[in-house]
């Protein structure tokens, strides 16, 4: 069976559903394809941070791109999603911290943040808190002895990433978009005469004049079929979830946050195990040890779940947004910060796909040709 659509979004993760829902709201006929229930889904193994501090070394445009997104979340994007879908995403937008254990971490953090500031664009304000100031932000739980302080940025925030994914799906469906699961895209053909793309999936055949590839790590073989020599690295990251407890962590920390339901999640490791997303006991041990060093009271909480996902990383880890030069009207969109950047994907990226004149200022920096 051949299924036709004006827009075909290949990939049902946070990136794909942000763009597809936006297209649907603009009355475009859109189908979003997704793999089966057990695909490698970065969007389901995510920490849910809207994170600004420390990002953008060597890429000033990424600093401003991220800042815009964080501010848009606060200004209206969260309210907009909640109004449209009825889902509370549990957004907390009042700042986030990176806890620093020992002198070495303090020095390294200062050095790292210094590199970003030197480049002088619109940069977020990041302050260093000493141990006492840090403890004051967490009045209900004691900091570990090794914690000397933290870096704090008011523009950092967090939400429940699973509810964001659900809300974007719901929004797309609400405005007439179609979600087709179990349709892993395998093969793409472009007919130059008719300017139509034919996408073969595991079960069906789709045709579209506008093709948007947002398939995470699976984008590599697809992008190559539209002339973009995409290279990605699947980086294993593991997360631990602790049982519900009373609210003690009012701010998201890099690597520790407490969900609105009361559960606490710990992350995140970085390893290269290839296409393997199993949970590794040794990594659970490391995460547990670090978390207890941060907050000793965590030792008596139950570990309820571990999971791992594969980050979708470009060679410099910054996003790729580009239209193919050899295959017009096909786009490749890649980012491993699809929570933070969701408002930009929903607004600027979708507008750009619909109308090339609305190209965001930063976009040239995110073209794939920077790697060539």
Partner 1 sequence: MFKLVRPNTNQSVTIYFNGAPLTAFENETVAAALLRQGKKEFRTTPVKQQKRLPFCMMGTCYDCLLTIDDLQDVQGCATYVRDGMQIKTQHINEKQGSDHE
Partner 2 sequence: MSKQTVVVIGAGAAGMACACTLAQHDICVTLIDEQPQAGGQIYRNLTENQHMPADFKDLLGSDYFKGADLIKDLDHPQITHHARCVIWQIDEDGTVYFSVDGKAQSIKGDYVVVATGALERPTPVKGWTLAGVMGAGAAQVAMKRDGIVPSGDVVLAGCGPLLLLVAQQLAKAGCQIKALLDSTTTKDHVNALPSLLPALSNMSLLKKGMEIKVSLKKLGIPHITGVEKIEMSGDTALEQITYHKDGKSHTLACDTVLLHQGVVPNIQISRQLNLDHQWDESLRCWHPTTDDWGQSSNQNIFVAGDGAGIIGALGSQYSATLSALKISVLMGKLPESDLLKQAAPIRKKLKAEQAVRPFINTLFKPKWLRPDDEDVVVCRCEETTVKDIKRSADIGCSGPNQLKSFTRAGMGPCQGRYCGLSVVEILAHAQKTTPDKLGYYRIRPPLKPLRLSEVASLNTLDQKDA
Binding site for partner 2 (CB under 8 A): 12, 34-38, 44, 162-163, 165-166, 169-170, 173, 179-182, 240-243, 261, 271, 273, 276, 278-286, 288-289, 291-292, 298-307
Alpha-helical (H) ranges within 119-250 are 131-137, 161-174, 219-224
> Contact between 262 and partner 1 (CB under 8 A)?
yes
**Cα–Cα distance, 150 to 135 (Å, whole number):** 10
CB of residue 302 to partner 2, shortest distance in Å:
4
> Contact between 245 and partner 1 (CB under 8 A)?
yes
**Cα–Cα distance, 274 to 297 (Å, whole number):** 35
User: Which residue(s) pair with 92 in the sheet?
Assistant: 158
- Pick what 3 binds: partner 2, partner 1, none; C-beta below 5 to 8 Å, kind-dependent: none
- Pick what 291 binds: partner 1, partner 2, none; C-beta below 5 to 8 Å, kind-dependent: partner 2
Beta strands 7-10; 30-33: pairing state: parallel
CB of residue 308 to partner 2, shortest distance in Å:
8
CB of residue 92 to partner 1, shortest distance in Å:
15
CB of residue 89 to partner 2, shortest distance in Å:
13
> In sequence order, what are the residues at sequence separation of 6 or more whose Cβ sits closer than 8 angstroms to the Cβ of residue 296?
142, 144
User: Which residue(s) pair with 141 in the sheet?
Assistant: none
> Contact between 244 and partner 1 (CB under 8 A)?
yes
Closest CA to 184 of 331, 334, 37: 37
> Contact between 288 and partner 1 (CB under 8 A)?
no
Report, in angstroms and rounded to the nearest whole number, the Rg of the chain calculated over CA atoms: 21
Interface segment toward partner 1; rule CB under 8 A; list 37-45, 108-116, 123-131, 294-302 = 294-302
Whose Cβ is closer to partner 2: residue 54's or residue 177's? 177
> Contact between 139 and partner 1 (CB under 8 A)?
no
Contact between 312 and 17 (Cβ < 8 Å): no
CB of residue 346 to partner 2, shortest distance in Å:
17
Contact between 295 and 257 (Cβ < 8 Å): no
CB of residue 311 to partner 1, shortest distance in Å:
29
Q: How many residues does the chain have?
A: 372
Interface segment toward partner 1; rule CB under 8 A; list 58-66, 150-158, 269-277, 296-304 = 296-304
- Pick what 303 binds: partner 2, partner 1, none; C-beta below 5 to 8 Å, kind-dependent: partner 2
Q: Where are the beta strands (DSSP E) in 66-214?
A: 96-101, 126-130, 147-153, 157-158, 178-180, 185-191, 196-201, 205-208, 210-213
Contact between 233 and 268 (Cβ < 8 Å): no
**Exposed / middle / buried, residue 73 (Cβ in 10 Å: 0-12, 13-18, 19+):** buried
Beta strands 147-153; 157-158: pairing state: unpaired
- Pick what 283 binds: partner 2, partner 1, none; C-beta below 5 to 8 Å, kind-dependent: partner 2
Whose Cβ is closer to partner 1: residue 107's or residue 247's? 247
CB of residue 320 to partner 2, shortest distance in Å:
26
Residue numbers at the binding site for partner 1 (CB under 8 A): 243-247, 260-262, 300-302
């Amino acid at each position: 069976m051949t299924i036709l659509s004006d827009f075909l979004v290949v990939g049902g993760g946070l990136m794909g559903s942000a763009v597809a829902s936006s297209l649907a709201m603009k009355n475009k006929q859109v189908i979003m394809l997704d793999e089966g229930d057990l695909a490698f889904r970065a969007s389901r193994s995510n920490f849910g941070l809207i994170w600004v501090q420390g990002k953008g070394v060597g890429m000033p445009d990424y600093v401003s791109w991220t800042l815009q997104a964080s501010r848009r979340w606060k200004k209206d994007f969260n309210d907009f999603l909640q109004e449209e879908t009825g889902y509370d995403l549990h957004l907390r937008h009042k700042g986030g911290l990176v806890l620093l254990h020992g002198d070495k971490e303090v020095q390294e953090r200062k050095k790292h943040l210094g590199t970003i500031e030197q480049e002088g664009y619109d940069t977020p304000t990041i302050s260093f808190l000493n141990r006492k100031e840090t403890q004051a932000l967490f009045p209900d739980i004691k900091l570990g002895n090794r914690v000397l302080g933290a870096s704090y940025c008011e523009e950092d925030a967090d939400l429940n990433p699973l509810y964001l994914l659900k809300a974007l799906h719901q929004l797309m469906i609400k405005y007439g978009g179609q979600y087709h699961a179990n349709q892993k895209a395998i093969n793409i053909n472009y007919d130059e005469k008719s300017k139509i793309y034919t996408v073969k999936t595991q079960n069906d055949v789709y045709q579209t004049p506008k093709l948007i590839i947002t398939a995470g790590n699976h984008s590599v073989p697809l992008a190559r079929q539209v002339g973009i020599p995409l290279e990605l690295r699947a980086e294993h990251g593991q997360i631990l979830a602790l049982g519900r407890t009373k609210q003690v962590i009012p701010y998201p920390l890099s690597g520790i946050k407490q969900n609105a339901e009361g559960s606490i999640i710990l992350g995140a490791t970085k390893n290269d195990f290839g296409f393997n997303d199993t949970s590794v006991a040794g990594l659970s041990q490391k995460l547990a040890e670090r978390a207890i060093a941060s907050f000793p009271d965590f030792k008596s909480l139950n570990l309820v779940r571990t999971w791992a996902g594969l980050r979708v990383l470009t060679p410099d880890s910054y996003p790729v947004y580009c239209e193919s030069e050899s295959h017009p009207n096909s786009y490749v969109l890649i980012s491993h910060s699809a929570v933070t950047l969701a408002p930009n994907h929903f607004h600027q990226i979708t507008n750009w796909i619909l109308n090339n004149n609305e190209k965001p200022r930063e976009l040239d920096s995110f073209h794939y040709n920077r790697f060539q």
